[in-house]
Structure 1
Amino acid sequence: MCGITGFIQWNGDLTQDSRLLVKMTETLAHRGPDGSGTWISGPCAFGHRRLSVIDPENGAQPMIIHREEEVYAIVYNGELYNAGELKKELSSRGHSFRTTCDTEVLLVSYMEWGPDCLERLNGIFAFAIWDSVQEQVFLARDRVGVKPLFYSYVDGTLVFGSEPKAILQHPKVEPVVGPEGLAEVFIVGPARTPGHGVFRDLAELRPGRAMIFNREGLRTYTYWKLESRPHEDDEARTAAYLRELIQDTVERQLVSDVPVCSLLSGGLDSSALSALAVQYYTRTGQGQVHTYSVDYVDNDKHFKSHAFQPGADAPWIQRMQEELKSKHHWIEFDTPELVNTLELSTEKRDLPGMADVDASLLLFCQEIKKGATVAISGEAADEIFGGYPWFHREEALQSGTFPWSVAPQLRSELLSPEIREWISPLEYLADRYSDAVAEVPLLEGEDAGQARMRVMSYLNITRFMPTLLDRKDRMSMGAGLEVRVPYTDHRLIDYVFNIPWSIKTAGGREKGILRKALEGVLPQDVLYRKKSPYPKTHNPNYLSAVKQRMLHVLEDSSSPILPLIDAAKIRELAASSEASSNLPWFGQLMSGPQLFAYLTQVNHWLKAYKISIK
């Protein structure tokens, strides 16, 4: 895992821009603490920061291959889980290799098959390849967007990077945010619209898409997307095939030249991955698996059950640790640490994010990094298999908007009247929802109920899941930790998307077919435990701390957020009884404490990035 950046400009001498390239590259040092490299040739400038996982000795980037007069160069962030098979096939076609790293496999794959190489890749990736034969740069992003890739195309110059902070170093890209960007931050966020970069001249290469930039211009195209097709397997065969797919995916993703650990919450998804990792390590003689969990000081005293978190995690983590006999690491944070990390987590994400959830994940990853370089995580299973409560509630299914944005009017009312009129937030959200629904590949002959669940699945996979993947990537790479997410294997997503809802909910349970597939892998009580998400703090001290922070922001006349919000309304909320609620009253995913924390993140973002609103 790494950080990549660069720029391509057809006219001019880029060798004069070597300092700029180094400056852009160094903004990504957290993503790659093990090495740095830059390369400039003709119109192309590539920069790379490296986190060594496979072949630490020989995998430096940018990687260059010369073939007679031809030159190919790559900067790459990701992991190919079928590198071995690809290398074998390429060797049979006459290619030789000088390293054991997947970077070389990817570059040689492009040399052999060109852009069509994407069809053959199983992995998570974002990369750019310079091709001197075609005189073009080829950029691509993995099918579901596990690895980020942003770009800016201004005045004929293409600038790209793993994170916006690298691109914003380029003098042609300014930190300007307009009405659409503000709507993304205040109404759509944190589930940002795919492809939207929030900053005016910034865009995101969407998952499953590739880009070719040559002297004729910039062309983007889709190489993979979700497709609807009839599901032919019965429940038993579906469960058996899922078991095979999940086991194959986990074992592919455990391959590494550095230690791999597992994140363990005691829930179905992470427990299953941890159990499969233990089985694989035992079978291959690789020793004891290390597992990690996160919690908060005094959460046991203050925990309140609700639909998204019906039970505390700690007893179940203990249950699984004893079952797996893993080397477990209990990580715990207190309120001051969470509050003090809100600003840093904003900078790691280049945007205000999921408040305490981002901050605690960053702290968690920093602790894990002390003992490991690679971790596996149960991210995305709920989006793919339909685990969230909103999959099972009629009001959410009939809401006519994203299920995580069911109270947009409340958010809109927090904006100043001038900003509300300028950005038309409710209309913007409605348009983005209509765009998303229009993309859904409905299946001919499908009844209304199944079609409705297909829409809900599509929205979760293409809109909400990328938010959590972005959070996981930015917070983990912010600590120099690679986190792999086996449930995002494209083969698994493609198959599960077409499983009928009646089979997905086998046994009358959410994620029923996944539970059935994992029979024998987990103890029955863990296997059928009610869903529990990434844990939040329930300590009332957190509310007090973030509320005071927000009130200080409101009292500071220089706070850049003030012209954008209704300060009187915020003060009114801070003084209300609802402010103490730790239940999702402010939309599905924004509790009172998270609201105040989020707004302080917005203020810090505006200030730290010197953002102009226009």
Structure 2
Amino acid sequence: MCGITGWIDWNRDLATSHNTAIVEQMTETLTARGPDAKGIWIAGSCALGHRRLAVIDPTNGAQPMVIHHESGTYAIAYNGELYNASELREDLLHKGYKFRTHCDTEVLLVAYIEWKQACVERLNGIFAFAVWEETEQRLFMARDRLGVKPLFYAEGEGWFAFGSEPKALLKHPNISPIIGSEGVAEIFIVGPARTPGHGIYKQLRELRPGKTLTYDHNGSRSSTYWQLESYEHEHNEEQTAQHVRELLLDTVERQLVSDVPVCTLLSGGLDSSALTALTALHHKRNGLGQVNTFSVDYVDNDKHFKAHSFQPNADEPWIQRMVEELQTKHHYIKFDTPELVDSLTTAVHVRDLPGMTDIDGSLYLFCREIKKHATVALSGEAADEVFGGYPWFHREEALSASTFPWALSVPLRTSLLKPEIADAIKGEQYAADRYSQAVAEVPLLNGEDEAASRMRKMSYLNITRFMPTLLDRKDRMSMGVGLEVRVPYTDHRLVQYAFNVPWSIKTHGHREKGLLRKALEGLLPHDVLYRKKSPYPKTHNPSYLNAVRTQVLQRLDDPSSPLHTFIQADRIRSIAASEEASSNLPWFGQLMSGPQLFAYLLQIDYWMRSYQIQVRF
């Protein structure tokens, strides 16, 4: 895994010392993503920058990588992993190509030389990459199908720039930290579930998952190479469960390939326990010894935890159950309130935006500790979106709402804004437009009844709108400490297959993720297999609420706080004094509890100050 950036400019020689220094600065911002090595390649109008996290062939995989072929010179900056690199290498060897390394970077670049833009259709992996064709004076970029790896870009008259993260682009002289009405709406109304394609910053855009982009003297052009498709599901329940099992087994085997240690994140839930069990089987077959597993929790959570519908039980007993079952070498990681509060600002720097507050911060701290023992980890992210695990898949009010199920509180969010801001951004209309845009994309199936169509729509919204939010969080917080996290449940074959499975099969046994449970029978203990879903752990310690509430009230007492531009301070003070403020239930819209609201406002305040955000409607 790595960080990539680049700059094309038809009006400048980028090899001059001044312009080279700019590329160096853009590249240096991505050091955390690639702590092992850096590289710059410049040829006239094109400059590519790369920071490397060495996972495959650490000795020979330096980037940017350049190949001089009979058809011209090609240079690549690549972030990701190809899980079918060995098959692609064999295909290319049969076509007469020779390889000088064992890394997937060379496989990808040679694949581009052979198949050009169509190469992306052959890739199984997580990736964001850019290839420069010197002869054609053309840049080609692509992003993986589900958006595991990030890629942002900006363009102006005669120039184009890209980067793994906004921080790289913000070092470009033509790009400023400006947000407009859409950016404000993304932050205050629909955030942190950012709309795919939007970079929040006014000049930035995001290359959406499953898309490519070409830039040359005629400008930029984007096209889609993959998207979810609807078709009749032809397998019965038994066949479906067996096929899901086979796909998952194949996916995990592919994703365990690494030249550095691999561990798993283990919460004791269905998704992470399954991946850990498959990893343990792989280790046993290959004589690799114990699997290293990691879990996260908070000091005194055992004293303050109270079961509720969103989190029915604590994780620790279930973690211990799986550790004993699989004989893993487990690492319990715990954080206390002061460190968690401090991580809120760190998470803003890592994400370049306010995000999921303590959930971001704790994940950053968690990954930082894992990195001391491993460079690659497997995570159960995305199983809930793919197999229908979230509560909103099963609640009528969410299914019948004319908005995203995680955005039911848009009117409440709007009410916190100053009237002039609310009028300027038209937040409720903005959210409605984004929802309509998403629903219009859903590939409906002819002849499908209303109930089935409604579940297909819910699945599509989760996979294309909510899942990218969590994948972005996972990538940024893990790569912020140089840890590569792989997410087997996002294999595009598995996602596409599950998307067309009828809801009656997905909910086998009248359970959320019933199909996945059935597919994993015999792999996990029965009690773990049928444990009720529990979300990513968060602190229940009242000291956290007290800390973030106190700090946000202090910010509101500061007349220079950027928050005063946007929100009604008295409304926040009223909420802070209310009984709801102490609740860890997501009453402030599906994604945010009282403590998270205060923490989110703290992140906004810090982000606008430290990034010197300018607002221009």
TM-score class normalised by the smaller sequence: over 0.9
Rounded Cα–Cα distance in structure 2 between residues aligned with 1:69 and 1:456: 47
Q: Does structure 2 retain, via aligned residues, the 8 Å contact 1:307–1:389?
A: no
Greater mean alpha carbon deviation, residues 548-557 or residues 359-368: 548-557
Rounded Cα–Cα distance in structure 1 between residues aligned with 2:308 and 2:397: 17
- Say which SS state the counterpart of residue 403 (structure 2) adopts: coil
Out of 234, 237, 242, which is 1:235 matched to?
237
- Say which SS state the counterpart of residue 416 (structure 2) adopts: coil
Rounded Cα–Cα distance in structure 2 between residues aligned with 1:395 and 1:604: 35
Shift of 1:132: 2.0
Report Cα offsets for 1:69-116 as digits up to 9, x if no partner: 711000000000000000011001000000000000000000000000
Shift of 1:301: 1.2
- Unmatched 5+ stretches in structure 2: none
Shift of 1:11: 2.3
Q: Does structure 1 retain, via aligned residues, the 8 Å contact 2:14–2:47?
A: yes
The answer as to 2:255 corresponding to 1:253 is yes
Rounded Cα–Cα distance in structure 1 between residues aligned with 2:423 and 2:526: 54
1:7 alignment partner in structure 2: 7
Q: Does structure 2 retain, via aligned residues, the 8 Å contact 1:154–1:201?
A: no
- Say which SS state the counterpart of residue 557 (structure 1) adopts: coil
Partner amino acid, structure 1, of 2:47: A
Shift of 1:308: 2.2
The answer as to 2:145 corresponding to 1:146 is no
Q: Does structure 2 retain, via aligned residues, the 8 Å contact 1:168–1:174?
A: yes
Shift of 1:581: 1.2
Rounded Cα–Cα distance in structure 2 between residues aligned with 1:440 and 1:205: 19
Partner amino acid, structure 2, of 1:266: G
Rounded Cα–Cα distance in structure 1 between residues aligned with 2:180 and 2:308: 37
Out of 396, 399, 402, which is 2:398 matched to?
396
- Say which SS state the counterpart of residue 195 (structure 1) adopts: coil
Rounded Cα–Cα distance in structure 2 between residues aligned with 1:544 and 1:424: 33
Rounded Cα–Cα distance in structure 1 between residues aligned with 2:131 and 2:289: 38
Shift of 1:156: 2.4
- Number of matched pairs: 614
Partner amino acid, structure 1, of 2:363: L
Q: Does structure 2 retain, via aligned residues, the 8 Å contact 1:7–1:44?
A: yes
Report Cα offsets for 1:469-488 as digits up to 9, x if no partner: 00000000001100000000
Report Cα offsets for 1:150-202 as digits up to 9, x if no partner: 00012221110000000010011111100000000011111100000011010
- Say which SS state the counterpart of residue 413 (structure 1) adopts: helix
Greater mean alpha carbon deviation, residues 574-583 or residues 137-146: 574-583
Shift of 1:306: 2.3
The answer as to 2:161 corresponding to 1:174 is no
2:443 alignment partner in structure 1: 441
Partner amino acid, structure 1, of 2:546: S
- Say which SS state the counterpart of residue 15 (structure 1) adopts: coil
Shift of 1:43: 1.0
Shift of 1:321: 0.3
Q: Does structure 1 retain, via aligned residues, the 8 Å contact 2:360–2:473?
A: yes
Q: Does structure 1 retain, via aligned residues, the 8 Å contact 2:255–2:488?
A: yes
1:415 alignment partner in structure 2: 417
Out of 502, 514, 539, which is 1:512 matched to?
514
Counterparts of 1:100-179 in structure 2 under 5 Å? Answer: 100-179=102-181
Shift of 1:287: 1.4
Report Cα offsets for 1:259-284 as digits up to 9, x if no partner: 00000000000000000000011011
Rounded Cα–Cα distance in structure 1 between residues aligned with 2:554 and 2:457: 43
2:381 alignment partner in structure 1: 379
Report Cα offsets for 1:310-352 as digits up to 9, x if no partner: 1110000000000010000000001111001100101100110
The answer as to 2:471 corresponding to 1:472 is no
Out of 536, 539, 542, which is 1:537 matched to?
539
Counterparts of 1:545-556 in structure 2 under 5 Å? Answer: 545-556=547-558
2:35 alignment partner in structure 1: 33
1:286 alignment partner in structure 2: 288
The answer as to 2:577 corresponding to 1:575 is yes
The answer as to 2:495 corresponding to 1:493 is yes
Rounded Cα–Cα distance in structure 2 between residues aligned with 1:366 and 1:608: 23
Q: Does structure 1 retain, via aligned residues, the 8 Å contact 2:310–2:585?
A: no
Rounded Cα–Cα distance in structure 1 between residues aligned with 2:283 and 2:516: 23
Query: TM-score, structure 2 length as denominator?
Result: 0.99
Rounded Cα–Cα distance in structure 1 between residues aligned with 2:67 and 2:255: 27
Partner amino acid, structure 1, of 2:477: M
Q: Does structure 2 retain, via aligned residues, the 8 Å contact 1:78–1:125?
A: yes
RMSD: 0.7
Q: Does structure 1 retain, via aligned residues, the 8 Å contact 2:508–2:514?
A: yes
Q: Does structure 2 retain, via aligned residues, the 8 Å contact 1:385–1:514?
A: yes
Partner amino acid, structure 2, of 1:239: A
Partner amino acid, structure 2, of 1:530: K
Q: Does structure 1 retain, via aligned residues, the 8 Å contact 2:439–2:461?
A: yes
The answer as to 2:468 corresponding to 1:452 is no
Percent of pairs with identical residues: 67
Shift of 1:68: 4.2
Rounded Cα–Cα distance in structure 2 between residues aligned with 1:487 and 1:582: 28
1:47 alignment partner in structure 2: 49
Report Cα offsets for 1:362-408 as digits up to 9, x if no partner: 00000000000000000000000000000000011011110001111
Q: Does structure 1 retain, via aligned residues, the 8 Å contact 2:11–2:158?
A: no
Partner amino acid, structure 2, of 1:35: A
Out of 476, 481, 484, which is 2:483 matched to?
481
Greater mean alpha carbon deviation, residues 373-382 or residues 7-16: 7-16
Out of 312, 315, 318, which is 2:317 matched to?
315
- Say which SS state the counterpart of residue 271 (structure 1) adopts: helix
Rounded Cα–Cα distance in structure 2 between residues aligned with 1:125 and 1:397: 33
